Structure 1
Amino acid sequence: MSQRPTLTYADAGVDIDAGNRLVDEIREPVEATRRPEVIGGLGGFGGLFELPVDRYRRPVLVSGTDGVGTKLRLAIDAQRYDGIGIDLVAMCVNDVLVTGAEPLFFLDYYATAHLDAAVAAPVIKSIAEGCRQAGASLIGGETAEMPGMYAAGDFDLAGFCVGVVEYDDRIDGSHMTEGDVVLGLASSGAHSNGYSLVRRILEVAGATLETRLADQSLADALLAPTRIYVKAIRQLLPRVDVRGMAHITGGGLAENFARVIPDHLAATIERSAWQQPAIFDWLAQAGNVSDAEMARTFNCGIGFCLVVPADQVAEATDVLTEAGEQVFELGRVHTREENADPVRLV
């Protein structure tokens, strides 16, 4: 009777040493996101963060979690990994920001069939870059090597963010009044939504990521990282009475903004208030996608919106512009008529 071979975890497709080497490689960029409230270092069983209670009378924790979706498929196909982690962070911190919260810390989850440091390292370094842009600490995460669960070369990402806001300063739309103005902040492209439709359009149109769109490739346009609005909004909040905010993700401007409008109010958005980036024109034309379908699938050029009093529009625009944002006056808040939609694009 032949003797059975001695098996190891590596024989099953999991390389523990590769994971340890990856931790060493990402240690420096992760440490660069460290805030004073972080306790301990990378590699513990849990990330420790001391809540800055000295700055708050009644602190409220705000949490958010998300992924990147099928934009990952394009990044993998194009072998562009140095921006996709920014998308992951942005999708979480921009959501937390809507409440007026300051993002404090972030954790990531990276899962793949076989760990390849040439792929994983730039991805996680880009997560650290997203955290740097958001002012949040990357205090932990998980790298899972799961042969048989993913195809060779594939990976998936998920993220989790925690922020804090003073109870009396939280923003939920309840202070909106008739006559308030809706401002929109420009997106950097399609951000991280609608990519199943994007990939279908590429297929139907016979286009590739190398197809040119004006002075850039489709890869450049479609893989531009999601814009992180945290620092600009954090600069704005002490100076302007912001009465509502919305992160424009899947569902588009109307559906996302409707989530923060009180039942007795509505908003009319002037579609002519901004010019959508060329990538959305290309997607609509190449896929023969209707205006209505574009508006409910993509951000169409507006990645974040906020409501301020009419007499504070100029100051809000100045602060946001100085912070690097492109600002558009989209419309106004008014009384909602019976059975009317909360947000109407005209």
Structure 2
Amino acid sequence: MSVDDSAAVPPAKRVTRTRATYAEAGVDRDRAAIANERIKLTARRSFNKNVLSEIGGFAGLFALDAERFPEPVLVASTDGVGSKLQLAAQLGLHGSIGSDLVNHCVNDVAVQGATPLFFLDYFAAGELDANVVEQVIGGIVEACKANGCALLGGETAEMPTLYRGKEYDLAGFLVGAVSHAKMLSGENIAEGDILLGLPSNGLHTNGYTLARKLLFETAGYRADQYVNELGDKVGAALMRSHRSYLAPIRKLLQAEVAHAFAHITGGGLTENLPRILPKGFAAQVEMASWEPPPLFAHLQTLGSIENEEMLRAFNMGIGLVAVVPAALLKKARLVLSRMNERSIVLGRIVRGQQRKVVYC
């Protein structure tokens, strides 16, 4: 009995192959090209004579001025803007978030005595919107110009598997320089030095997760709602810009009236002041020396938050602290007042076994 082999082996199936494209996977190179062209035009507004490259190369080129910075030390900082980004997207205030990012990084290098040189950004979205990208980069460029640094380059990425729709993330990286002899490390801080505070504009870029929960979930406010306790609309109160303190820092250094500076960001006074204290010293802060702005008081009421937690979660209206010799306090405050810069005597440097803030 014979076996019919053709009956035992099924016929081969015909497979139709399609030509896969990046766009079908969710990444549109044409959208990216449009966004990048707009970035090139915008970024050039921040260029100066030290920039030796164009936007779009494999890396940015910047010539360091050796005469301006003898024995140069490069000072770098990187950061994001946290959940303030979500509120900015909700309100369509994309430009302001770019300036927040630059100013945060500028302050971080300025308190080391450094001059900001150039900035790099990272922008990633589920779907690139050229108009949003242009607004964000525009804010970055304007802040770079205001602080005398250049937007040297960056990265614009479309990642639909990581971000939803036009949701985006933003981060930045800043490089500055200072002559070795002019670096600020806090080593000159001495007992009796005065803590001189400069006001913040509001939350700056810290504490937004808690603030948004309290204002939008606990209190049930809308972003466009005017609240008497805030003296403003909720969205406007939350979106006040993160200040740059570069100008007052420079003036105080030029007048030779400051030993050190602390940028008050995440962690508040409690965690940021100890970062500049030498061994054997503490910072004594008098709680009655200033009144936090209404936004902070209302947040504390809404959440029944303890003072200790408030001072760690928020800047409480103080964005920068200068450590000033007591004998030079009057001169330092005069320098600031001539800039129309308000200052607050917060306390003083005292002896202490631990580098910490002591509230009294």
Does TM, normalized by the shorter one, top 0.5? yes
Aligned to 2:285: 269
- 1:50 to partner: Cα distance: 0.6
Aligned to 2:257: 241
Aligned-CA RMSD value: 1.6
> Following the alignment from structure 1 to structure 2, what is the Cα–Cα distance between the partners of residues 333 and 2?
78
**Between Structure 1 and Structure 2, whose CA radius of gyration is higher?**
2
- 1:168 to partner: Cα distance: 1.2
1:190 is aligned to 2:203:
yes
Task: Confirm or deny: 8 A CA contact 2:277 2:355 kept in the other structure.
Answer: no
1:15 is aligned to 2:8:
no
Q: Which amino acid aligns with 2:266?
A: G
1:277-334 deviation digits (Å, cap 9, x = unpaired): 1111111112222221111100000011111112222222232333343211111112
Aligned to 1:342: 356
- Partner SS, residue 67 of structure 2: helix
> Following the alignment from structure 1 to structure 2, what is the Cα–Cα distance between the partners of residues 148 and 28?
29
1:45 is aligned to 2:58:
yes
- Aligned with 1:205 (options 219, 236, 244): 219
- Partner SS, residue 37 of structure 1: coil
Aligned to 1:164: 177
> Following the alignment from structure 2 to structure 1, what is the Cα–Cα distance between the partners of residues 155 and 336?
35
> Following the alignment from structure 2 to structure 1, what is the Cα–Cα distance between the partners of residues 88 and 344?
30
- Partner SS, residue 38 of structure 1: coil
- 1:229 to partner: Cα distance: 0.8
- Partner SS, residue 296 of structure 1: helix
- 1:22 to partner: Cα distance: 1.8
- Aligned with 1:260 (options 276, 298, 317): 276
Aligned to 1:87: 100
Aligned to 2:338: 322
Gaps of 5+ in 1: none
1:333 is aligned to 2:349:
yes
- 1:112 to partner: Cα distance: 0.5
> Following the alignment from structure 1 to structure 2, what is the Cα–Cα distance between the partners of residues 118 and 42?
18
Gaps of 5+ in 2: 1-13
- Partner SS, residue 155 of structure 2: strand
1:108-152 deviation digits (Å, cap 9, x = unpaired): 000111101122211111111221222211100000101111111
1:47-83 deviation digits (Å, cap 9, x = unpaired): 1001111122211001111111111111122222120
Q: Which amino acid aligns with 1:80?
A: L
- Partner SS, residue 95 of structure 2: coil
Q: TM-score, normalised by structure 2?
A: 0.91
Task: Confirm or deny: 8 A CA contact 1:254 1:345 kept in the other structure.
Answer: no
1:296 is aligned to 2:306:
no
1:216 is aligned to 2:232:
yes
- Partner SS, residue 254 of structure 2: coil
Structure 1 residues 106-117: aligned runs within 5 Å: 106-117=119-130
Relative distance call for 1:33 and 1:262 in structure 2 (3 A) is same
- Aligned with 2:325 (options 291, 295, 309): 309
Aligned to 2:85: 72
> Following the alignment from structure 1 to structure 2, what is the Cα–Cα distance between the partners of residues 156 and 61?
27
- Range that drifts further, 323-332 or 100-109: 323-332
> Following the alignment from structure 1 to structure 2, what is the Cα–Cα distance between the partners of residues 151 and 22?
18
- Aligned with 1:281 (options 277, 280, 297): 297
Q: Which amino acid aligns with 1:237?
A: L
Task: Confirm or deny: 8 A CA contact 2:260 2:276 kept in the other structure.
Answer: yes
